Structure 1
Amino acid sequence: MRILFLDLDSMAPWHLGCYGYHRNTSPNIDRIAKEGVRFSNYYTSDAPCFPSRTSLMTGQFGIRNGLVGHGGTAASLRHEGVSRSFKDRLSFESMPAFIRSSGLRTALISPFGERHSAWHFYAGFNEVYDTGDNGMESAEEVTPTVLDWIKRNGASDDWFLYVNYWDPHTPYRAPESFGNPFADDPLPAWINENVLEKHKKKVGPHSVHEINMYDNQTYAKYPRNPGEIADMDGMRKMIDGYDCGVRFMDDHLGMVFEALRSQGVMDDLVVIITADHGENMGELAIYGEHGTADQGTCRIPMIIRWPDRVQPGVREGLHYHLDLLPTLAEMLGSKPAESWDGESYAASLTGETDEGRNYLVVSQMAHVCQRSVRFDNWLYMRTYHDGYHLFDKEMLFDLESDPLEFNNIASIRPDIVKQAVYYLMEWHDERMASMTCDVDPMWTVIREGGPFHAKGFLKDYVKRLEATGRGDAVPELMRRHPSEFANNEKKTAFSKAIIEQHIKKLQAEGRHDELEELMRRHPQIAEMMVKK
């Protein structure tokens, strides 16, 4: 048996032809999809990169393995403690270790372990090839290593090859020589000037004003990656940049598949194509980021081609990516590990059923602190730390009519909100009961100052909000995140100066209604004006 596992970083499924995209971004992936099973409702349990791949490799939710962030205590796996034996569980129960125990030689081509100091990512691989640029690689830097490995090993029996490609990840890096095959293609139908004008009011990292997270800086090395989206030309540059990355990567996948054909092994090769997370391209008015627990970030592609074993077609059931481990165990005739949280969907692969889970809970703790519930056609999002986006605490979206999450209908569908909260609490109770530790790592993140990518940026960011006509958001940001401003006298003075500047601006522009509303919501502003 031979298995090729393709991990395509930041690959949003709806930008693939086999998932219905109108642009020809993925002809080689699409051909594999026609020969296998394509899952429509497949999600990472924990986003973004580091938590997602850790959950995939350990088979455990982040709340259980402890790794949910990109820094601080919650960016490390929990120790096994007194139950640890001569070797830890990763030696036997991680995905590559388990596959290795099934008789396959395991190889990894990826820089991911070094990118995040994710050394547990390597557990169970016989061979590791670090492509050397910490996840900033373009496909032409990855493919030669893949082709060399295939040339030396492809015709041998019983191997598992895991390959990382990074081209859909910001900054978009397809070489200029690749051109733009989508220059004459229309943008996605939902993108228009009215949407852009609405999105210009958005506050938070990776809004149209700050594609570079908190500013509009650009880099000569990455000309496809815009610093901001000021008009429809900028929008086209954004979408085309991402799609060119996908197509450039797909072309290189075509080279890999052709090399396998030349070795005579493509006909019976198992091919698994997936991602660590998606990429927001307008969902929640966020672009070029994977920093929320929403559909844009957490829905991922999953395509499995398994000749003579799977029944090709589309499956609609709800599944987590960590369900892959027990699925592989069943397909390989092995017993799943007791430590895994996943549920096998082997019956969906073989065509016996299309059933999935009743609901999913997906989490994000690196950019915001959110947990969301996905069930029926609903996405319920609960925000614990907004990462400076000013999200409502509760958000509800009908994904059937609003797949891009434009309209929060939580206030008009309290019945659905209550159902979602019940599911969330049920999930949390079950997860906490399964753990030897009584700490939810989400609260570790919050107690340590908040998500890693939302630490220490607010002071400078409020200046940018003022400069881009969004200063009316500053008082609310200060109310939600007082510690960012009030840690010392200097910050306090800065906060008052910002507020005073904004008040003067409202007065000078005759925006008295807005000033009165600010004073109503924030009595401390009224007190400040009285004192002056």
Structure 2
Amino acid sequence: MKIILISLDTLRASRLSSYGYTKRTSPHIDQIARDGVLFEQAYAADIPTEVAHTGVFTGKIGLTTGAVSHGSDLTQLPKSVEWLPNILRSAGFTTAAVDNMYQLKEWFARGYNYYINSVGGNRWIDGSTVNKLALPWIDQHKDESFFLFLHYWDAHTPYLPPESYIPEFYDSAKDPFDPRNKSMEPAYNHSAYPFFKHHHYDLVGEVTDSDYYDALYDAEIRYLDDRLKELDDHLAKLGIQEDTLLVLFGDHGESLTEHDIYWDHCGLYEPTVHVPVIIRWPGRMPEGRRASGLVQQVDLLPTLLEAIRKEAPSGIDLSKLNDPAGLDGRSLWQTIDGASEGTHETVFLSECAWQAARGIRTDRYKFIRTYDAGPFTRPPRELYDLSVDPEEKKNLADSEPALAEAFELELEEWVQRKLHGRQDPMVVQLEERGLPFRRRIEQILAGAGMTWDEWKSNPDRAKFDEAANKHSHSK
């Protein structure tokens, strides 16, 4: 038995044609969905990358593990917390990863016989790099029962797809650098600009057309799709495709200007928390099934363990594959087999990076409680009726106060139940360190001789650019 778990970093569900997008970004992913099961309402309970993946590999949400913040030196994951690669290795699987999250936290390398670090000379990792490392490893271990984790970053900023992929998504008659186009001004004048200038805008160029950035994102997805086809074709060539349980998931999505978020993944809005989850296992599950109920990423761990118990592969010790205690995730197998449409009636949401907020997603409503808005302007409470307002544009918190208060009480009671008397790690983070991404902006501003308060009160892009250029030339 082979298991390949694939993280499609920063992949927004609604940008795939299998999830309703009209452009041809994902022909091979769509084919995988037709050959397997697609979960229409899959959610990232914790965002962004660090906490999302910790949930996937533990089957537990951030309030259970204590990992609620991305990039914080306060966050630790005790070795006593059961970890999917450890579980599988102890049962007899050969475990491997092509990944670079070890650069974030040490626990992402736990449990692997082979941890192949894909980190390179810059923060942008091309999917072809992942395949160049993964395919030879698969060749060498094709006759074993293995678990392989692959982490593709192509849809993450900075968007730098091969030039040949861009024309399909951007009108060739347009000039993305036309100075008469002012659609990029809101992004360039945003309080988070210093961070994105350094990590994104300077790498792409003086773009003036915001549509061009959207096109670059689409082109990155299309390029990623080709890399997945390359991987899948290799499995077929080796004759192991039919024996491989393939799982695709997005760790979080991406906002493309919605809610004052410019090509980034914060905010508990649908563009960021609604993610693709697609599973294919030839001959063992239905083909072309679309499950419509709510599921979340932490459901993947118990789903994989149940799959192995179902298959009972030779040489694997099934006694080592009982579900860990205290899981928040629930196996997707009843949903896969059609006995249910989802695993949860409610998904609780959390973030603590650019801003600190928690939320509730039901089949109809989204409620968001913001505790620290960071560089954004947010009301303390947001309530959306997604049945009539899927883009979350009309905040009902003031016009429906009783409903908003009921959701807030439900959220508070849920937090207290999960904490079991422990300190709230989000409160600890905010009181002892503040928002991790605010600290990143502060470091960049300090290099330009500015403070956070000065920048927030007057985010003068020209002044920052001049100061930053002087600082870089003085090095």
TM-score of Structure 1 vs Structure 2, range by shorter chain: 0.7 to 0.9
Given that residues 74 and 445 in structure 1 are in contact (C-alpha distance below 8 angstroms), is that contact kept between their aligned partners in structure 2?
yes
Residue 392 of structure 1 pairs with residue 383 of structure 2 = no
Q: How far did residue 25 of structure 1 move? A: 0.5
Residue 365 of structure 1 pairs with residue 352 of structure 2 = yes
Alpha-carbon spacing, 1:274–1:185, altered in 2? closer, same or farther (3 Å): farther
Aligned equivalent of 1:332: 308
Residue 443 of structure 1 pairs with residue 427 of structure 2 = yes
Aligned equivalent of 1:284: 259
Given that residues 325 and 342 in structure 1 are in contact (C-alpha distance below 8 angstroms), is that contact kept between their aligned partners in structure 2?
yes
Q: How far did residue 429 of structure 1 move? A: 2.5
Q: How far did residue 393 of structure 1 move? A: 0.1
Aligned equivalent of 2:178: none
Aligned equivalent of 1:242: 217
State the AA in 2 paired with 1:65. Answer: T
Q: Distance in 2 between matches of 1:438 and 1:149?
A: 43
Q: How far did residue 219 of structure 1 move? A: 7.6
Aligned equivalent of 2:314: none
Greater shift after overlay, 305-314 or 383-392?
305-314
Greater shift after overlay, 393-402 or 172-181?
172-181
Q: How far did residue 353 of structure 1 move? A: 1.7
Aligned equivalent of 2:109: 122
Residue 100 of structure 1 pairs with residue 89 of structure 2 = yes
Given that residues 209 and 215 in structure 1 are in contact (C-alpha distance below 8 angstroms), is that contact kept between their aligned partners in structure 2?
no
Aligned equivalent of 1:152: 140
Any idea what SS the aligned residue of 1:75 has?
coil
- Residue deviations 1:275-311 (CA, integer Å, cap 9, x gap): 2111111331312111222222222110011222222
Aligned equivalent of 1:136: 124
Aligned equivalent of 2:298: 322
Selected match of 1:111 from 97, 100, 106: 100
Given that residues 13 and 299 in structure 1 are in contact (C-alpha distance below 8 angstroms), is that contact kept between their aligned partners in structure 2?
yes
State the AA in 1 paired with 2:148. Answer: L
Q: Distance in 2 between matches of 1:427 and 1:226?
A: 45
Given that residues 135 and 166 in structure 1 are in contact (C-alpha distance below 8 angstroms), is that contact kept between their aligned partners in structure 2?
no
Q: How far did residue 243 of structure 1 move? A: 0.6
Any idea what SS the aligned residue of 1:124 has?
coil
Q: Distance in 2 between matches of 1:382 and 1:36?
A: 36
Aligned equivalent of 2:226: 251
Aligned equivalent of 1:89: 80
Q: Given the two structures, how large is their TM-score scaled by the length of structure 1?
A: 0.75
State the AA in 2 paired with 1:11. Answer: L
Q: Distance in 2 between matches of 1:350 and 1:214?
A: 49
- Residue deviations 1:232-269 (CA, integer Å, cap 9, x gap): xx122110110111111111111111111110111232
Aligned equivalent of 1:61: 61
Q: How far did residue 467 of structure 1 move? A: 6.0
Residue 423 of structure 1 pairs with residue 410 of structure 2 = yes
Given that residues 191 and 455 in structure 2 are in contact (C-alpha distance below 8 angstroms), is that contact kept between their aligned partners in structure 1?
no
Aligned equivalent of 2:459: 465
Give matches, 1:481-492, under 5 Å: none
Give matches, 1:477-516, under 5 Å: none
Alpha-carbon spacing, 1:41–1:396, altered in 2? closer, same or farther (3 Å): same
Q: Distance in 2 between matches of 1:369 and 1:220?
A: 23
- Residue deviations 1:51-70 (CA, integer Å, cap 9, x gap): 11112222222122222223
1 or 2 for the larger relative contact order (CA 8 Å, sep ≥6)?
Answer: 2
Question: Structure 2: which 5+ residue stretches go unaligned?
Answer: 175-181, 310-320, 446-451, 463-475
Alpha-carbon spacing, 1:429–1:211, altered in 2? closer, same or farther (3 Å): closer
Selected match of 2:194 from 209, 214, 234: 214
Q: Distance in 2 between matches of 1:398 and 1:281?
A: 21
Q: Given the two structures, how large is their TM-score scaled by the length of structure 2?
A: 0.84
Q: How far did residue 226 of structure 1 move? A: 6.0
Given that residues 367 and 404 in structure 2 are in contact (C-alpha distance below 8 angstroms), is that contact kept between their aligned partners in structure 1?
yes
RMSD, aligned α-carbons: 2.7
Q: Distance in 1 between matches of 2:159 and 2:259?
A: 21
Q: Distance in 1 between matches of 2:157 and 2:253?
A: 12
State the AA in 2 paired with 1:440. Answer: D
Q: Distance in 2 between matches of 1:325 and 1:38?
A: 17
Q: Distance in 2 between matches of 1:402 and 1:185?
A: 33
Q: Distance in 2 between matches of 1:420 and 1:185?
A: 48
Given that residues 12 and 253 in structure 2 are in contact (C-alpha distance below 8 angstroms), is that contact kept between their aligned partners in structure 1?
yes
Alpha-carbon spacing, 1:142–1:216, altered in 2? closer, same or farther (3 Å): closer
Residue 344 of structure 1 pairs with residue 331 of structure 2 = yes
Q: How far did residue 216 of structure 1 move? A: 6.5
Alpha-carbon spacing, 1:222–1:55, altered in 2? closer, same or farther (3 Å): same
Q: How far did residue 344 of structure 1 move? A: 1.9
Any idea what SS the aligned residue of 1:172 has?
coil
Give matches, 1:227-238, under 5 Å: 234-238=209-213
Any idea what SS the aligned residue of 2:292 has?
strand
Selected match of 2:438 from 424, 434, 454: 454
State the AA in 2 paired with 1:310. Answer: M
Given that residues 48 and 364 in structure 1 are in contact (C-alpha distance below 8 angstroms), is that contact kept between their aligned partners in structure 2?
yes
State the AA in 2 paired with 1:62. Answer: G
Q: Distance in 1 between matches of 2:14 and 2:98?
A: 26
Give matches, 1:168-179, under 5 Å: 168-179=155-166
Q: Distance in 1 between matches of 2:221 and 2:51?
A: 23
State the AA in 1 paired with 2:379. Answer: D
Given that residues 284 and 404 in structure 1 are in contact (C-alpha distance below 8 angstroms), is that contact kept between their aligned partners in structure 2?
no
Residue 308 of structure 1 pairs with residue 251 of structure 2 = no
- Residue deviations 1:15-44 (CA, integer Å, cap 9, x gap): 111111111011111110011111111112
Q: Distance in 2 between matches of 1:71 and 1:442?
A: 13
- Residue deviations 1:492-527 (CA, integer Å, cap 9, x gap): xxxxxxxxxxxxxxxxxxxxxxxxxxxxxxxxxxxx
Residue 262 of structure 1 pairs with residue 252 of structure 2 = no
Q: Distance in 1 between matches of 2:433 and 2:280?
A: 44
Q: Distance in 1 between matches of 2:428 and 2:324?
A: 28
Q: Distance in 1 between matches of 2:202 and 2:225?
A: 19
Q: Distance in 1 between matches of 2:268 and 2:201?
A: 30
Q: Distance in 2 between matches of 1:110 and 1:311?
A: 30
Any idea what SS the aligned residue of 1:217 has?
helix
